[in-house]
């Protein structure tokens, strides 16, 4: 569906782009001709990600690709840090005309056991972080007369879900932000869309949310398509929403989950039928493993 030059000349920023789905999307954008800047809090992981993105079959190929790769350590909860990252990327690669808000935080917990700090930590990464990157990049897109923003949400941004209340609240806010700005910023030539992925195996999410074989089997059983997603599938959807082929699409939220949300609603709602102490012990076991 996408030509090899579908994103040629684009400058795309990816938050949480140093691992997992963020890194997979950044790599695919490079393959399609874009220049890419990623950010993450962990400096060591950032350097490893940049090395991966610069990889090529020859030294000259690596050098050419390296000219289109940028990254900086950044905590998306800090607007000044985000703005500095975007400014540095703009100076190095050019004015950003694409942004993927992928940075997130999540864990399983009974809400009555949450501390205010735990709730705040997740919401500040998910909702505040998305707003910070959107504002920093969006102001530059307004000056440049256009751009495209893709926010990574989740199926339960619409439905809510038990045991992930901070994430559900944050992602619900991101979805509202998506739809609000799609209308407000259309006058500037900026499109804003969201993607709601189902279960895509990644080291971080799997360790925090599906750390036991039983939880993984239950997650798979709720997917009508009978399989988990592949990173390339999500990356291609994000690339489509960033390129000119989707020029008339804005304010939408596209599910890519094998039908899971339609079939099951809130991702972890099935756990409410179990004894609560059993559920809490399972969450504790996950925390001990991570």
Q: Catalogue the active-site residues.
A: 156
From CA 65, how far away is CA 192, in angstroms rounded? 28
From CA 184, how far away is CA 181, in angstroms rounded? 5
Structure tokens at 8: 């040629």
Q: Which of 247, 246, 254 is nearest to 229 (CA)?
A: 254
User: Residue 270: is it exposed, middle or buried by C-beta count within 10 angstroms (0-12/13-18/19+)?
Assistant: middle
* Whether 175 contacts 150, CB under 8 Å: no
* Whether 50 contacts 138, CB under 8 Å: no
From CA 205, how far away is CA 201, in angstroms rounded? 7
For 219-283, give the DSSP string: HHHT-TTSS---HHHHHHHHHHHHSGGGTT--S-EEEESTTHHHHHSSTTGGGGGS-HHHHHHHH
Which residue blocks in the chain are alpha helix, DSSP H?
20-31, 43-54, 59-66, 79-93, 116-123, 129-143, 156-159, 165-184, 203-209, 213-221, 231-242, 260-264, 276-289
Task: Give the CA radius of gyration of the chain.
Answer: 19
Q: How far is CA 221 from the centre of its chain?
A: 24
């Amino acid at each position: 569906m996408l030509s090899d030059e579908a994103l040629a000349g684009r400058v795309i920023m990816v938050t949480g782009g140093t691992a997992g789905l963020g890194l997979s999307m950044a790599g695919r954008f490079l393959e399609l001709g874009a220049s890419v800047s990623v950010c993450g809090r962990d400096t060591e992981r950032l350097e490893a990600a940049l090395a991966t993105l610069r990889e090529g079959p020859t030294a000259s190929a690596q050098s050419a690709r390296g000219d289109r790769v940028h990254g900086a350590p950044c905590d998306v909860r800090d607007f000044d840090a985000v703005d500095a990252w975007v400014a540095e990327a703009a100076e190095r690669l050019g004015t950003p005309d694409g942004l993927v808000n992928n940075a997130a935080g999540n864990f399983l917990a009974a809400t009555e056991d949450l501390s205010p700090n735990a709730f705040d930590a997740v919401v500040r990464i998910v909702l505040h972080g998305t707003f910070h990157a959107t504002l920093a990049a969006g102001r530059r897109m307004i000056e440049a007369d256009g751009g495209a923003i893709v926010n990574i949400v989740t199926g339960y941004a619409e439905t809510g879900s038990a045991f992930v209340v901070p994430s559900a609240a944050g992602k619900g806010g991101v979805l509202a932000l998506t739809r609000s700005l799609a209308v407000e910023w259309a006058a500037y030539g900026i499109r804003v869309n969201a993607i709601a992925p189902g279960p895509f195996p990644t080291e971080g999410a799997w360790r925090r949310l599906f750390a036991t074989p039983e939880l993984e089997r239950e997650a798979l059983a709720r997917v009508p398509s009978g399989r988990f997603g592949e990173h390339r599938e999500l990356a291609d959807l994000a690339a489509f929403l960033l390129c000119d082929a989707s020029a008339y699409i804005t304010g939408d939220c596209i599910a890519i989950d094998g039908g899971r949300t339609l079939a099951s609603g809130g991702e972890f709602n099935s756990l409410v039928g179990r004894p609560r102490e059993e559920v809490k012990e399972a969450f504790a076991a996950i925390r001990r493993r991570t």
